[in-house]
Every structure is written in structure tokens, then in C-alpha cells.
Chains A and B, each alone.
Chain A
Amino acid sequence: MTLAAQTAESAARALAIAGFAVALAQPLARLLTHTHGRRRTLAWALLLAPLLTPALLVSYAYSHLALRLMAVPGGIAVLYAVVLALKLTPVAAVIAHFVPPALSAEAAHCHALLAGPRWRRWIFRLRGAGRTPVVAGGIVFLLAFTDFELASLWSLKTWTVALFDAQAGGLALGASLRLAALPLMVETAALAGLLRRSRLAASPRGAGFQPVEVHRASLPGVASTASDGHRTFTISAESKPLSIFARRACSAYLVCAALLASVVPLARIVGQAAAGLRSIAENFVLTRELAASTAFALGAALCAWPIAAWIARRRGLALALCLPGLLGAMLLALFILTAFQLPPLRAAYDTPLPLLLALTLLLLPLAVPLRWLLDAARRSPALHLARLAGARPVIWHLDTRRRWLAACLLFCWGYFDFTASSILAPVGLTPVFARLHNLAHYGQTAVLSAMLLAAAAVPVLALPLSGLAARFFAGRK
């Protein structure tokens, strides 16, 4: 299969996944909005579990199934598309949750009373959905189109795998990048479409840069007024609750997705790891890799966060710095590798700088929206009063906790990276997931499962500790 055919196939698959994710995003967002208390926490956990489970863990756990599916025509392609869809649907749901449609439930109801045929109602709703589906679909498309990690371990023929093969197989870097021209064109077209539609946060004057449609229910304490640059308005309409059937269907989806893309792979690895834990406890060889992963993820998160704060109010700069990350880790890493092999930057080649730069750029498309959301939340009168009163628990609840969660998300995103790490890591500082991905090609063993578990456990153990520290310092100026 030629690279053009592989690109077309990847684009078609990404389009289908984006369609699936967008179709589910609104009902899932409404489910989250109208669920309260512990159920709400559970719903969020179930939604985010597939997204936050490392791709390597999932591909490793299902590697035997993938191998068996090779005997079934199209079997492995279906498995790949399903797992990718389960992993990326939460992205669309989260976007839909925080950026709800411009059309209120009341407006939709009024139009339903007045409108004639059913298809007119659908068209009205589609137009009323605003830019959210396009933005969510565009981002899911880009993430699905640029996936490499799941595909490579399952021997799938995608353009990312072909490009990696070409690069490792001796094609000159320039030739590899020329080969990437077609996928790059697809990505650029998707990005251009995305940018046309994603003016949700942009002020026409270019000075203001604030979220205009932050959902009141999704951010308790957020002021319900927002500005689009022209006028200030109040978000008064809550989204309509789901019917009981839809609610149950959405809940069932969340449970199934979390089971398939998170719980089953984890349970499988834990089961296998039991026999290997003793071996790795006696001879733990991953210390250096774990330290490298933690340092790179921490460094990238520490760099991305203030940069995001700085660019969040500068629209052009924000878009310019987020674009490289949206191109995907593979192309970005190849570009950075090329740059650092040129004479002016050669001194920094084989140092931590190229990987740190790549990870920072990969984190920015996540860090900037997080900044927008947090900045909106920090204008809350409740938080202002809590600060005046010096009420630490309230400050923690309304502000510090969210910032800590955002930092954790950035850290995990960087920590679980494999693609950029495998291309750019300097000698002797290989991040743990790049190393484990290499070992995972040898098949499943108890020791390897134990290593994977140890690698995944580091953020799980470290982040609550950092949360305690953050809580301790909450409210201090």
C-alpha cells in the first residue's frame, strides 16, 4: 500500500472516529451537567479513564487479541478503530461540556413548537449547535489521524508507522519530511478548518481573549457573565436533561468504554504482573528511565504552563504556538530533529533540549484551553471573598485544586508520551515509555507487565503527594 493510500485510509478512519465522537459528545456532556454529587465524580472518572490510560498499556494488553485478529480480514483494523474511538470520544465530550451549544434548551423548545417538518427542526438544531461540533470533531480528527502508538504495536499499516519506518529505515531526513507532505497537507487543511471555526475565544479587536461560553454548571463559582468582545451577556439557559433512556444509554456507554479501554487492560496487566513483581523488586532496572520520564514531563509542564499563561491573551501567538502540537508528535519530532541537526543548533543535539521543546509544544494545545477555563473560574466573586477572608479550604476548593488538576493533566500527557521520546531522547536519558514500547515488541511477559505497572504507578503515586503539598500551600501569597 502506498503512503498516499495509507494517508487516505487514516483520514477516512479519523473522520469516522470524529463523527462518532461528535455524535456522542452532546449527550455525554448533558449527562455530566445533570449528574450531581458522587455520581458526577464517578461519571467524570469513567469518561476520562480511557483518555488517561496510556496507549502503550492498552496496546500491550490487547496484543494477543490483535495477533489473533490478523487471521480475520479487517479484524485488527476494527479493533484499532474501536479502541481509538473509545480513547478520543472523551475529548469531544469535554469540549462539548465546557463549550455548550449557543442554542438554549428554551430556544430549541420554542422552535419545535413553531417549526414544521422534523427535518427543519434538525437543521435548526444543527445550526444552533454553533462551532462546538466542528471544533471538537476537528481536534478528535487530528488526534486520530496522527496516532502512532496503538498502530505500531499492532503492526497496522498507517502513514505514521510508514513514516517512522522510512525514517528509521534509512531514508534521509529531508526525504522523510517530503514523504510527509501529503499527511501534512491533510493536517493543515484540518487545522485551517478548525481555526476558521474556533473563534469562540477570540475578540475581534484582538485584545480580549476570554472564553465566551463557559458552562455555568461545569465550573461552580464561575461568574455567569462573559464577553465576546462586543457585548456582555449572561448564560441563562441550562441544557435540557436527558431522557431516562438516553441517560441509561450514556451511562452504559461510559461503563463499557472504561471497561474496554482502561479496566480490562489494567486488570490483565496487574494479573500478569503479580508473577513478575518479585523479579523487578530484586533487580529494578528502570530507575533511570523513570527519573528521565518524570524530569522531562515535569520540565515540559513547567515550561508549557507559564507560556500558556503568557500567550492565552494574545490570540495570534496562541494559535501560532499551539499549531505545532496539533500536527502530532511524529511530524513535530521529525521537524525538531531536522532543526537540531543543522549547524546552528547542532551543539544542542543529543541534549535534553530537543525533547523538552517537543514535549512543551505538544502540551501547549492542552495548556492554553486549560488556562482559559481556569482564568474564567478565577473571576468568581466567591473566590475573591475567600481570598479576602483567608479561607484556605475554600480557596483550595475553588482555585488551587483546579490548578493542581490542570498541572497533573499536563504532567501525565508529557509522562505518557512515547513518539517524540523515541525520536528525540538523548543517549542515556530514555524515557520509560519509549523503553517499554521497545520491550513490548518481544511479547507479553510477567516481568514486562510488572515494569509497565511500575511505570504507570509513578504518576498515580506522585500526584496525590503533590496534591497534599498544593493544598498545604493553598491561599498563601
Chain B
Amino acid sequence: MTRRRSISLAVVATVVLGWSYYSGQKPRLVVYCAHDSIYAESILRDFTRQTGIAVATRYDTEATKSLGLTELLVREKAAPRCDVFWNNELLGTLDLQDKGILAPYRGHGWQRIPENFKDADGHWTGFAARLRVCIANGNVADAEPMVRLNVGVLALLDASRFAIAKPLYGTTLTHYAVLWQHWGREKTIAWHREWRVRGVRELNGNATVKDAVAQGVCDFGYTDTDDFFEAKDAGLPVFMRPVELEESRATICIPNTVAIIRGTRRETDAQRLVDFLLSAETELALARSKSRQIPLGPVPADQVPAEVRDLQTWAQHAAPLTNLLSARNECLAWLKSEYVQ
């Protein structure tokens, strides 16, 4: 046999062996996860350890958080690959529900979550939330009273010292949708355009916003509580205040959501994962993690870290998000026309 034939045979054998190994693997529960992989991974590993159900996870990137996976689920609607969607926000999940992609399930996990954080039919359920916050660099004079200012007033400051993530995705999109609902289309568009003209720093994601503020590149920024605590844990000079809407003083509390994809072939396993994620143990684990997620269901108060208990107080004054789908879709359509030309 010539060398060339040997090589060709080796290539074919490698491909065939690789393929047969891949296709012969035990089918896994496929989870699309928009939550930060560094926190989600240990939770999903615990699930596998406890139940023996193997999980294959597709994570999203920080920069395109959640929306990438939401869009993928829409595209895969005809032939779904995903069994369970763990989103790190609500509005994308509402959109999927609207498009008929989610299957209802009301298990014992669903029952322990308050009404305003779940779908009545069980198409989705919220858990472990974050707050939208204004983060400030501690070395900036008068920063503390300034973070208490509302969105409209803050925009009047030096915009080039203010950072925000691109509003096309993730929790920044939720933030915009809340403003869209609260202010209306015209005011939101005018505010956004003026802010950009005046040089606001638009960055990749909330983590980059946190970095920019923590390192003094910017004085203020909009981010989430989990990013703020990362900077605080690293000993960086930052402090924060939850974003509050004018007049109502309502905060923006964004839960993780979990849903089963319609057409899943592993319904029982999917339901077990949903119940696992909605359990008090998982909420406590996420509260105790570095991301300090706020438990939404009842958990023993003495087991919740003090910092998270403070956040729970703020979360009680959260603006409702479940009615924001149309605002989100209108806002997103406009943002796409603004950014993708």
C-alpha cells in the first residue's frame, strides 16, 4: 500500500471513528444557558451529580448575552435541539412564549415562586434575580449623591464619563424597555440619541462597564448587581445604587427564567431540571455565589448573605416586567434600525 493511500485511509478512519463516537454518545439533556457560565456550570454539575442526568450546555457570549440564544431558539423552532432554556432575563423568554416555542409545566418549583415572577400557565418561571444598578468609582468627588440621581438627570452630566453596554441585548435591553414603557417612544429615542451625540461610552457588555468604572476610565455606568459585586470583591473602589424610575421610585429587578422547549424528547428529564433550578437550594446557592442573586421564592432568612438581604429590600419595589413584551419588541426594532444599518 502506498503512503498516500495509507494517509487517505487514516483520514477516512479518523473521520468515521470520530463520527461514530460522537453519534454513539449517550443522549444528553440539551440546555441553552444565557446565565454566566462561571456560575451556571457548578449548578448544572450538581444537578447531574444528584440525578445522573447528563447535560450538554450551549452558553452565550457575554457580549450578546441572551439574545443570541433566543434568536437561535426561534430559528430552530421547526426542529428544536434544545430541551431547557435557562435565560438570564425575562423579556426574551416572553418573546419565545409569544412565538409558541415554550411548553407549559407547573411543578413543585413553579409553586414556590411568587405570582409576579412566573407565568400563570407555567410556560416560564423566574428565579434568582439581579438588580439594575448605577455603579460609580469611589475616587470621584460627590459620586455618592450623584448615583442617587435618576436616569434623566444623570444623562445631563458629562456623558463621556458614563459607560453603558450596547442596549441591543441582555439586561441593558430590559433597562431600555422599562424606559420605553415609562417615558414613551419619543422621549426614550431623544434621550438615547442625545446621550450618544454627547459621547456616552458604549461598551461590549456589563462586565466591561464595570471594569471601565472600577479602573477610573469612566466615573459612572449602568450595570447589574453581579458585576458590581465582582469589582467589590476584587477590592476595587466602587459603590452602587439601584436604578430607580422617576416618580414611582421603582427599581428594575431582572429574574433568571427557566422554560421547557416545546417538542422536547426528554420531557421528564427537562422537568426535573426545571424543578431543580427553581428549588430553594439552587436559589440559595446562587445567593451565596459571587454573583449574589436575589432569591425570589421563600428561603430561610438566616441563610441569605447580608448583602443579598439588602438587595431583597430593593427588589420588593421592583417595576413589573411581565407586561413589557410589546415595549421590548418596539424598542428592539428601533434599536436594530439605529445600530444595524
Q: Interface readout for B23-45 with A: 1 if CB under 8 Å, 0 if not? A: 10000101000001110010000
Question: Size class of A's contact patch?
Answer: 35 or more
Q: Which of A168-176, A196-204, A367-375 contacts B (4 or more CB under 8 A)?
A: A168-176
Q: Interface readout for A422-441 with B: 1 if CB under 8 Å, 0 if not? A: 10000111100001011101
Q: A24 at the A/B interface (Cβ < 8 Å)? A: no
Asked whether, in the complex, the Cβ of B75 is within 8 Å of the Cβ of A438, the reply is no
Kindly state the separation between the CA atoms of A319 and B44 in the bound complex, as whole angstroms.
47
Shortest CB distance B28–A (Å)? 6
**Given A71-B217, A302-B14, A441-B63: A171 touches B58 (CB 8 Å cut-off):** no
Q: Interface readout for A161-189 with B: 1 if CB under 8 Å, 0 if not? A: 01011101111010000010000000000
Asked whether, in the complex, the Cβ of A428 is within 8 Å of the Cβ of B57, the reply is yes
Query: In the assembled complex, which residues on chain B have CB atoms less than 8 Å from the CB atom of A169?
Result: 64, 67-68, 71, 168-169, 336, 339-340
Q: Which of A260-268, A344-352, A386-394 contacts B (4 or more CB under 8 A)?
A: A344-352
Instruction: For A64, give its contact among B64, B202, B215 (CB under 8 Å).
Output: B215
Query: In the assembled complex, which residues on chain A have CB atoms less than 8 Å from the CB atom of B7?
Result: 305-306
Query: In the assembled complex, which residues on chain B have CB atoms less than 8 Å from the CB atom of A236?
Result: none
Q: Which of A302-340 contact B (CB under 8 A)?
A: 302-303, 305-306, 309
Instruction: For B215, give its contact among A67, A168, A295, A303 (CB under 8 Å).
Output: A67
Q: A193 at the A/B interface (Cβ < 8 Å)? A: no
Q: A130 at the A/B interface (Cβ < 8 Å)? A: no
Asked whether, in the complex, the Cβ of B71 is within 8 Å of the Cβ of A168, the reply is yes
**Number of A-B pairs whose CB atoms are under 8 Å?**
131
Residue of A nearest to B340 (CB): A166
Asked whether, in the complex, the Cβ of A352 is within 8 Å of the Cβ of B61, the reply is no
Q: B279 at the A/B interface (Cβ < 8 Å)? A: no
Instruction: For A3, give its contact among B23, B210, B341 (CB under 8 Å).
Output: B341
Kindly state the separation between the CA atoms of A166 and B81 in the bound complex, as whole angstroms.
23
Q: A206 at the A/B interface (Cβ < 8 Å)? A: no
Shortest CB distance A276–B (Å)? 13
Q: B208 at the A/B interface (Cβ < 8 Å)? A: yes
Asked whether, in the complex, the Cβ of A302 is within 8 Å of the Cβ of B58, the reply is no
Q: B50 at the A/B interface (Cβ < 8 Å)? A: no
Asked whether, in the complex, the Cβ of A422 is within 8 Å of the Cβ of B61, the reply is yes
Kindly state the separation between the CA atoms of A248 and B269 in the bound complex, as whole angstroms.
67
Residue of A nearest to B210 (CB): A443
Asked whether, in the complex, the Cβ of A427 is within 8 Å of the Cβ of B56, the reply is yes
Asked whether, in the complex, the Cβ of A428 is within 8 Å of the Cβ of B208, the reply is no
Shortest CB distance A109–B (Å)? 46
Kindly state the separation between the CA atoms of A67 and B212 in the bound complex, as whole angstroms.
6
Interface centre among A169, A299, A427, A438 (most CB of B within 10 A): A169
Q: B11 at the A/B interface (Cβ < 8 Å)? A: yes
Q: Interface readout for A214-241 with B: 1 if CB under 8 Å, 0 if not? A: 0000000000000000000000000000
Kindly state the separation between the CA atoms of A4 and B340 in the bound complex, as whole angstroms.
10
Shortest CB distance A287–B (Å)? 13
Kindly state the separation between the CA atoms of A437 and B58 in the bound complex, as whole angstroms.
14
Asked whether, in the complex, the Cβ of A441 is within 8 Å of the Cβ of B205, the reply is yes
Q: B120 at the A/B interface (Cβ < 8 Å)? A: no
Q: Which of B5-30 contact A (CB under 8 A)?
A: 7-8, 10-11, 14-15, 18-19, 22-23, 28, 30
Asked whether, in the complex, the Cβ of A170 is within 8 Å of the Cβ of B332, the reply is yes
Instruction: For B336, give its contact among A171, A302, A352 (CB under 8 Å).
Output: A171
**Given A64-B215, A351-B22: A302 touches B62 (CB 8 Å cut-off):** no
Task: Please name 14 pairs of A and B residues whose Cβ atoms are closer than 8 Å in the assembled complex, sorted by A.
Answer: A64-B215, A155-B202, A162-B339, A165-B63, A166-B336, A298-B14, A422-B61, A427-B30, A429-B22, A438-B59, A441-B205, A441-B208, A442-B230, A443-B210
A429-B22, A438-B60 known; 19 other A-B pairs, CB under 8 Å?
A3-B341, A67-B208, A67-B211, A67-B215, A68-B215, A70-B217, A164-B64, A165-B166, A165-B168, A166-B340, A168-B64, A169-B67, A298-B14, A305-B7, A422-B61, A430-B58, A438-B37, A439-B37, A441-B61
